[in-house]
Structure 1
Amino acid sequence: MTAADLAPQELRILVAVAEEGGFSAAAVRLGATQSAVSHAVRGIERKLGVVLFERGRFGARPTPAGERAAAHARRVLRMLAAMAADVRGADTGEVAGSLRIAAFRSAALHLLPPALERLAALHPGVEVTVSVIREQGPGTAGEVAAGRADLGIATLGGPAALPAGLVGGVLLEEPYSLVHPAGHPAPRSLPLVDWTENCGSYTRDWWAAQDWIPAATVTAEDDGAVLSMVGSGLGMAIMPALSLTGAPPSVRITDLGPERPYRSVGYATTPELAATPAVRALIRVLRSLGQGSSERTEAQLRTV
């Protein structure tokens, strides 16, 4: 018996144990007995030839091999569901089924809503769920690699390259701007307000060359909190365009000049999901909206 002999139900058990952290909780989730789940996991481990879980009073924790196995299992199960939706629409051309999206905060707030509105108008049979994920560590692309999302809206480039095995593309290049309280006579003299998710890695060289930017005095929870603090007169910030959508009148956005840094915002998915109708449809919509967003941002900056 080998990995090729694994059945879909075994994959579901593997995922349930990994996510629930124990055989008993996984059994409750699956409507099975604890002994049946434990027996199934031992069988899966024999087929794969590796220990997938550390057992103990704490429950069952995935080993590194177990984490990888669970990610593969999620992706295989997802493709089975995608296959069912695809073949049902083969005769009619209808695009339907579920679509799981992971996005960082500003993309979820400002990029996804018009995209999902257009997607719903074009393909009402697609059921979308969105998870807001911090773009730190594995980030949104990590959710796709782990099989928890079909497509991630991600920041691309820099040291945070896409995980091996994923494909993606750039949707828009968004510039960074100086944001400061409206009417302040010397905004560059203000203390810096920043947030942990700000993609400093993409602007590191530019940032290091700016001797007027101090170390952050305040580190906020997210870009919305930064914008609120700047509007309250607590400091200035360097922020990308998506984060400045709908900025209040209490702040002013100042162009950083021709050498201003940019951040690439794109999508990440798996090669197999990239070929499915629902993911292809969303990518087409995102590309069309991303191009328009980049053009509008550049036009606005020319008027600042």
Structure 2
Amino acid sequence: MNDLAPQELRVLVAVADRGGFSAAGVALGLTQSAVSHSVRGSERKLGALLFDRGRSGAKPTAAGERVLGYARRVLHLLELMAAEARDPARSTQVGGPVRIAAFRSAALHLLPPVLRSLRARYPELEPQVRIVREVGRGTAGEVADGRADLAIATVSGSSPLPPGLLSTVLIDEPYSLAHPPGHPAPRSLPLIDWDENCGSYTRSWWQAQDWIPAATIKAEDDGAVLALVAGGHGMAIMPALSLADAPPTVAVTDLGADRPVRQVGYVTTPELAGSAAVRAVVRELRAVRGNMVPGEAQGPNPLPL
């Protein structure tokens, strides 16, 4: 049998989280040699090198990152299994921790009413929110890597979600031009941008616009972009959730019928889609979506409720 035992999975996760074998041993109450032996055994069973060893510690390889995602998910499911075995009613009762990942503007404008409703309806539920930049693997990667049970993520574009995940569109989020009020030609202003903007869902539109210059200012996040636009330093092309923060010193102009639109939805795993906690969060997300931005969409494969 080449299957990894739960303790072997715990060792792998501890090494990755602690950055080395010694620190993982301290966390697990094991010797460094026991941790090293366990990792080598896991690598032999899987036929892949899981960690690059060096003076600075141990860093997961590409194969190791994939394995760690499954390891975290399996360990979380084992925790749920044990909890429901001790209390069979828990499988239908909404309670315990539920881990949610969201990017900044979604956390600011989609999550607050959801969390308020969850607290009121399910006092035993314990939402745990992580705000993650929507670059690279983004919030969906948190689910794939076993760090979140559900993510609010960008689910459209040419970059596919990590394999093995379920997703459903909540809203179609249009882009608009943000600029100082009263400017006679806002499209002529310098461009202010940030790393999370202009993803695969807007890139083709962006490249077709000969009036958009290269960004002269790069900000850390969309909040900083709005502050810079409000200060008269340029214009920005921003999605609707980000523009919900726009102060009166920022004017918002429609980009026309061909404006770019990104789809925002929720992502989870097939195993967690049926859990009472995830289903409760999904219900509340669906309940508030119509109040966020126009043009909501259902998506082709909605998750079960």
Structure 2 unpaired stretches of 5+: 297-305
For residues 128 and 159 of structure 1, do their structure 2 counterparts lie closer, same or farther at Cα, with a shift above 3 Å needed? same
Aligned to 2:68: 70
Aligned to 1:203: 202
Structure 1 unpaired stretches of 5+: 298-304
For residues 52 and 186 of structure 1, do their structure 2 counterparts lie closer, same or farther at Cα, with a shift above 3 Å needed? closer
For residues 46 and 187 of structure 1, do their structure 2 counterparts lie closer, same or farther at Cα, with a shift above 3 Å needed? closer
Instruction: Within 5 Å, give how 1:84-95 maps onto structure 2.
Output: 84-87=82-85, 88=87, 90=89, 93-95=92-94
Q: 2:32 aligned to 31, 34, 48, which one?
A: 34
Structure-2-length-normalised TM-score: 0.90
Tell me how far 1:50 sits from its aligned partner: 3.5
Q: Return the alpha-carbon distance in structure 2 between the equivalents of residues 41 and 260 of structure 1.
A: 51
- Would you say 1:11 and 2:9 are equivalent positions? yes
Q: Return the alpha-carbon distance in structure 2 between the equivalents of residues 225 and 212 of structure 1.
A: 23
Aligned letter for 2:286?
R
For residues 138 and 35 of structure 1, do their structure 2 counterparts lie closer, same or farther at Cα, with a shift above 3 Å needed? same
29-38 or 159-168: bigger deviation: 29-38
Per-residue CA deviations over 1:141-162 (Å, capped at 9, x if unaligned) read 1111111111111111112221
Aligned to 1:112: 111
Aligned to 1:192: 191
Tell whether the 8 Å contact from 2:173 to 2:295 is kept in structure 1 after alignment: no
Q: CA RMSD in A?
A: 2.0
Q: Return the alpha-carbon distance in structure 1 between the equivalents of residues 224 and 144 of structure 2.
A: 30
60-69 or 72-81: bigger deviation: 60-69
Q: Return the alpha-carbon distance in structure 1 between the equivalents of residues 90 and 183 of structure 2.
A: 63
Instruction: Within 5 Å, give how 1:174-189 maps onto structure 2.
Output: 174-189=173-188
250-259 or 230-239: bigger deviation: 250-259
Q: Return the alpha-carbon distance in structure 2 between the equivalents of residues 24 and 48 of structure 1.
A: 23
Q: SS state of the match for residue 170, structure 1?
A: strand
Tell me how far 1:189 sits from its aligned partner: 1.9
Aligned to 1:44: 42
Q: Return the alpha-carbon distance in structure 2 between the equivalents of residues 236 and 63 of structure 1.
A: 41
Q: SS state of the match for residue 266, structure 1?
A: strand
Aligned letter for 2:288?
L
Aligned letter for 1:218?
I
Tell me how far 1:98 sits from its aligned partner: 1.2
Q: Return the alpha-carbon distance in structure 1 between the equivalents of residues 69 and 199 of structure 2.
A: 29
Tell whether the 8 Å contact from 1:82 to 1:276 is kept in structure 2 after alignment: no
Per-residue CA deviations over 1:63-119 (Å, capped at 9, x if unaligned) read 333222221110101111223444525279421121111111111111111111111
Aligned to 1:54: 52
Q: Return the alpha-carbon distance in structure 2 between the equivalents of residues 208 and 47 of structure 1.
A: 48
Aligned letter for 2:260?
P
For residues 203 and 64 of structure 1, do their structure 2 counterparts lie closer, same or farther at Cα, with a shift above 3 Å needed? closer
Per-residue CA deviations over 1:206-234 (Å, capped at 9, x if unaligned) read 22333322221211111001000000000
How many equivalent residue pairs? 295
Instruction: Within 5 Å, give how 1:1-304 maps onto structure 2.
Output: 1-3=1-3, 6-87=4-85, 88=87, 90=89, 93-295=92-294
Tell whether the 8 Å contact from 2:179 to 2:230 is kept in structure 1 after alignment: yes
Aligned to 2:300: none
Q: SS state of the match for residue 279, structure 1?
A: helix
Q: SS state of the match for residue 277, structure 2?
A: helix
Tell whether the 8 Å contact from 1:178 to 1:239 is kept in structure 2 after alignment: yes
Q: Return the alpha-carbon distance in structure 2 between the equivalents of residues 283 and 171 of structure 1.
A: 10
Q: Which has the larger share of helix?
A: 1
Tell me how far 1:296 sits from its aligned partner: 8.9
Share of identical aligned residues, percent? 65
Per-residue CA deviations over 1:233-274 (Å, capped at 9, x if unaligned) read 001111101001131111111122222221100111111111
For residues 92 and 259 of structure 1, do their structure 2 counterparts lie closer, same or farther at Cα, with a shift above 3 Å needed? closer
Q: Return the alpha-carbon distance in structure 1 between the equivalents of residues 37 and 91 of structure 2.
A: 43
Tell whether the 8 Å contact from 2:167 to 2:267 is kept in structure 1 after alignment: yes
